[in-house]
Amino acid sequence: MELTNLVSNDGLKSIYFTHQNALLHQDGDIYTSDFTSPAINEIKALVTKTPSLLEDALGKRLHVILCEQSVITRVLEESQETQSSVVLDDDKQSEVARRVRRLLQNAVNKGSSDVHIELYKNETRLLARVDGQLVYMDKNIPEYRYGLALFGYLFNELAVDKDDDFYVSKINNGRVILTLECDGVKRDTIWRAAYIPAKDKGGQVTLRWLNKDETIPHLDELGWEAGHVLAMRDFANSPSGVCILTGQVGSGKTTAIAATLSELKDQGRSINTLEDPVEFDLGVIQTSVINLGDDADGFFTHAKALLRHDVDIESHGEMRDKKGAMSVCRKGETGQIMFTTMHTSSAMGIAHTLNEQMHVPKAVIAAPNLMKLWVYQTLVRTLCPHCKLPHEALSLHYEEATLAKINQWHSELDGHLEGIRYRNPTGCEHCTQGEKGRTSLVEMIVLDNQDRQFIFNQDYLGWETALQQKGFKSVKDHALLKIKRGEMDVLTCAGRVNDLLVDTKTNVYDGFFKEE
């Protein structure tokens, strides 16, 4: 089949790239590698709707002809274009609009938290994060312009509060609001759209579904232990001070703060939040802040303005620099309860991140009664209750090397082993490869003057020992607790928590040099 004889418009290209197993020839024949492909009926319906597609074959019955998949793949690859401009006429724009809606509706149906559109020199990839795991939404599309058109439509036509119109070489951020069907009900879905350029005029758009959860969970529903919840409530009801929640992107920090603030409203205290952007409707005064650089720092400017608004409880979005961190500290010292977030890999890591990266003075971090509660959180997928496996069944599902690692770990645990369960890699109708949903793993430091002294001295190794002597429970301890309850798989958990599967009987360096 010659490339020049392929019938193509934006509607057909969507069918071609979605299924990648059927093509329409100008003589009126449909070539396919799969007679059962839905693409066949979709092509026929489009031809019926648009007779001008086959003017030379009007009235002719469309024949379906079997061909090798390699032929179709080659034709699709050769048809990709590498233009960098984004100019859409009305018909093309309508087709791209349908692609975007279909993509986001599919993401909603899967319960995704994020959508990734990745653009390469000769390819577009569509992925989504489902229960914390990145999965492909469709086959890779062997065309550059397909993804470029999506980017242009998202930022030029849909996005609000954006940095600028779309240019393939410029970072961009904005917000997309699209009415989609969620659990059988149509509602406005809000997505934070972020673009970053890449090599070969490629790039990536990441869409975070901001209002995925219509209701704010209670603190008791976060996956925290009762002691964690009590510590948070004790802080929230204290006179003043700072609580910092830390963790990776998408680890539930904002949700935890929203759950706390939801409990605190209507109790006689004034609550304000500064967010970038607003995610949950808390029923309090919430201000969406866009940081525009050093000359117009949104958080710093708005935080200063709130000094005149008689605030009792205040929450700031992520601390990114010294100005933002010092603003939080200032508020905590003026008799307010302060919540904020940052990115570190442990609760202890907050200290040196504030001091050494954000340049907050040690005397400020260690000031009496300023820093009160530091929380590190990560989210881990939970086992499917319908198909999770007992230890005895593992040999039917796992390779020898994996079994050896699990058995070694199992032998080093002390008691309470009967409740441990494992992921069924084949899964069932209720889950994805043996897991469904996520839960929190948490570590908390309730700071006292001994902790502050270690921080002031920058004695982090000594501080770790002192915390352990006081009974500090790390995120690893929380993970082991939930593993022993049969809530999560140790292999999955080891991908989120350090040192879970350490072999204490083997020297890691012994295996570096091995004789043939």
Domain of 161: which CATH number?
A: 3.30.450.90
If asked whether residues 195 and 235 sit together in one domain, one would say: no
Q: What is the pLDDT of residue 84?
A: 39
CATH number of domain containing 309: 3.40.50.300
If asked whether residues 242 and 192 sit together in one domain, one would say: no
Residue 349's pLDDT band (cuts 50, 70, 90): very high
Q: Which of 147, 178, 209 is the last residue of a domain?
A: 209
**Poorest-pLDDT segment among 3-17, 29-43, 196-210:** 3-17
If asked whether residues 289 and 433 sit together in one domain, one would say: yes
Token pair for residue 329?
A: 């500290």
The better pLDDT of the pair 126, 54 is held by: 126
If asked whether residues 420 and 291 sit together in one domain, one would say: yes
**Poorest-pLDDT segment among 83-92, 130-139, 232-241, 319-328:** 83-92
Q: What is the pLDDT of residue 79?
A: 63
If asked whether residues 73 and 96 sit together in one domain, one would say: no
If asked whether residues 294 and 422 sit together in one domain, one would say: yes
136-150 pLDDT, tens digit each:
998 899 889 899 999
**Poorest-pLDDT segment among 92-101, 346-355, 425-434, 478-487:** 92-101
Residue 45's pLDDT band (cuts 50, 70, 90): confident
Q: Is there a domain that residue 214 lies in?
A: no
Q: What is the pLDDT of residue 151?
A: 94
Query: In angstroms, what CA-CA distances link 48 with 55, 90, 474, 502, 512?
Result: 12, 21, 64, 63, 66
If asked whether residues 364 and 281 sit together in one domain, one would say: yes
Q: Is there a domain that residue 478 lies in?
A: yes
Share of the chain above pLDDT 70, in %: 90
Is the pLDDT assigned to residue 482 strictly greater than 80? yes
Q: What is the pLDDT of residue 292?
A: 45
Given the structure tokens 């569509």, which residue do they identify? 126
> If DSSP states are collapsed to H, E and C, what string results for 262-278?
HHHCCCCCCEEEEECCC
Residue 290 backbone dihedrals phi, psi, to 5 degrees:
-115, 115
Between CA 287 and CA 269 the distance in angstroms is 18
Q: Is there a domain that residue 147 lies in?
A: yes
Share of the chain above pLDDT 90, in %: 50
Q: Is there a domain that residue 499 lies in?
A: no
Question: Could you give the number of structural domains in the chain?
Answer: 3
The better pLDDT of the pair 109, 295 is held by: 109
Between CA 360 and CA 409 the distance in angstroms is 41
Q: Is there a domain that residue 70 lies in?
A: yes
Q: What is the pLDDT of residue 356?
A: 93
How many C-beta atoms lie closer than 10 Å to residue 168's C-beta?
18
Q: What is the pLDDT of residue 82?
A: 37
The H-or-E segment that residue 128 falls in is strand 123-130
Is the pLDDT assigned to residue 252 strictly greater than 80? yes
CB 430 within 8 A of CB 384: yes
Q: What is the pLDDT of residue 280?
A: 82
**Poorest-pLDDT segment among 91-100, 199-208, 227-236:** 91-100
Between CA 460 and CA 463 the distance in angstroms is 5
Q: Is there a domain that residue 515 lies in?
A: no
Q: Is there a domain that residue 415 lies in?
A: yes
Most distant pair of Cα atoms in the chain: their distance: 87
If asked whether residues 192 and 252 sit together in one domain, one would say: no
The better pLDDT of the pair 241, 515 is held by: 241
CB 64 within 8 A of CB 30: yes
411-422 pLDDT, tens digit each:
777 666 788 999
88-106 pLDDT, tens digit each:
445 556 888 889 999 999 9
If asked whether residues 280 and 317 sit together in one domain, one would say: yes
Quote the domain boundaries for residue 68: 3-78
- What integer is the mean pLDDT of 432-454? 94
Residue 81's pLDDT band (cuts 50, 70, 90): very low
- DSSP output for 80-121: ----------HHHHHHHHHHHHHHHHHHHHTT-SEEEEEEET
Q: Which of 15, 48, 78 is the last residue of a domain?
A: 78
Q: Which of 18, 52, 78 is the last residue of a domain?
A: 78
Is the pLDDT assigned to residue 86 strictly greater than 60? no
Q: What is the pLDDT of residue 57?
A: 58
Q: What is the pLDDT of residue 87?
A: 44
Is the pLDDT assigned to residue 443 strictly greater than 80? yes
Between CA 354 and CA 80 the distance in angstroms is 48
**This prediction's pTM:** 0.73
If asked whether residues 296 and 390 sit together in one domain, one would say: yes
Q: Is there a domain that residue 504 lies in?
A: no
Residue 195's pLDDT band (cuts 50, 70, 90): very high
If asked whether residues 187 and 252 sit together in one domain, one would say: no
The better pLDDT of the pair 180, 77 is held by: 180
Between CA 328 and CA 242 the distance in angstroms is 8
If asked whether residues 322 and 469 sit together in one domain, one would say: yes
